[in-house]
Chains A and B, each alone.
Chain A
Amino acid sequence: MKVAYFPGCTLKTKAKELDAYARKCAETLGITLEEIENWQCCGGVFTTARDEAATKLSSVRALKAAGNANQMLVTVCSACHNVIKQTNHAMNTDEEFAFKVNNYLGKGEEYDGSTKVMHYLELLRDVVGYDKVKEAVKKPLAGKKVAAYYGCLLLRPNSVMHTDDPENPTLIEDLIRALGGEPVVYSMRNECCGGYIALENPDSAKKRSNKVTDSAALAGADMIVTACPLCKFNLETNGSKLPIVYFTDLMAEAFDLKED
């Protein structure tokens, strides 16, 4: 099975391993991530203002490209996922906005809103299925206590994202279980790490991140997994005692795809 893939800026630079293992693990599960040609950065955050069109065009172009190929659009980075999915929602629910955006795309090139946006984690749950994930495991993560960190962007706003129960998600915990690990639930798993505030006000990001990592440590976790490069950066650079790893890293380890 082939799906359209939007890697995003950070997966091509600081988070190359997130991209590489996402592709390898997908291949193991019979899915090819076909990178969209000439994709552009999503901008990192969705602008909720209804009168902002230009900042959402890169997302619309990616959605259109996937639609042209009759494929769903798969993302790995939580931020790309949030921006593209919210843009898709706006195209489907706000006629005035869609009209404005389509004026940029040219005659006959309008986007009709029909592309389905899926995060890689949703693809595992809804298309691949955890049973198939289990079958691919060669080295189960036995005895590893893994804390899933959702942050904000995978889950919220729930009225648009519909990823999982936004206050009591199981999406990542179910994957951890399928890989043979032991999920650790802790209270701060869906609270913000500070995000882009790290650039201007690192102290604010530190306070946020420490709350998350302290909460996971208190719950007895050995490590924290995330899908977002900025979450990883914030949790890591603010003195986490626990290692922070991408979920794809954990999968590659369980599938025995790691080259050391």
Chain B
Amino acid sequence: MHKDNNAVRDEIIRRSGVNPRKCMRCGKCSATCPAYDEMEFHPHQFVYMVESGDIEPLMNSKSLYQCLTCFACVDRCPRGVEPAKLVEAVRLEVIRKQGANHLKADDIPALVTEELPQQAIVSAFRKYTK
């Protein structure tokens, strides 16, 4: 069964614990985001797009995999909105579906180098794969 936009929005809000209506559109989250240049949709856009139920474009965007989980937007938001938690909740909406993993075990050998710490691999799996 296909979930409607509002049902997806409500689930994402519940999963993240974020209240996007607290946002006052100052843009500080995107201004401080170290992955800004890499993203098609920026942290402040995640906030208002989730709020309005416009989630499909976010789910189809590579922006989901550019967030570094550095918590800069979480700490520096003057309204305590915590946009990174929305990025995470949308990403899980995608990768929890069967066959939708962003990173597969078979991809790993081509990506690792001798020096790369294990920490990078386990972290990427935790972020990109279910």
Contact = CB atoms under 8 A, between A and B. Distances in A.
Contacts of A55: 126
Contacts of B128: 200
B92 interface: yes
B123 A237 contact: no
Contact of B66 (A199, A201, A228): A201
Contact of A13 (B68, B92, B118): B118
Given A152-B70, A152-B72, A191-B72, A10 B119 contact: yes
B117 A15 contact: yes
B38 interface: yes
B119 A200 contact: no
Interface residues of A, number: 47
Contacts of A191: 34, 70, 72
Residue of B72, B103, B119 with highest tally of chain A CB at under 10 A: B119
B38 A195 contact: no
| Size bracket, chain B contacts | 35 or more
B72 to A, nearest CB: 7
Which label, helix, strand, loop or mixed, suits the secondary structure of the B interface? helix
Contacts of B122: 9, 41, 43-44
Contacts of A45: 69, 123, 126-127
Interface stretch (A46-54, A104-112, A120-128, A130-138): A46-54
Given A14-B118, A196-B121, 6 more contacts: A156-B72, A156-B74, A157-B74, A196-B120, A199-B103, A237-B115
Interface of B: 14-17, 34-35, 37-38, 65-66, 68-72, 74-75, 82, 84-85, 88-89, 92, 103, 111-112, 115-124, 126-128
Interface of A: 8-10, 13-15, 41, 43-52, 55, 77, 79, 151-152, 155-159, 166, 191-192, 194-201, 204, 207-208, 228-230, 232-233, 237
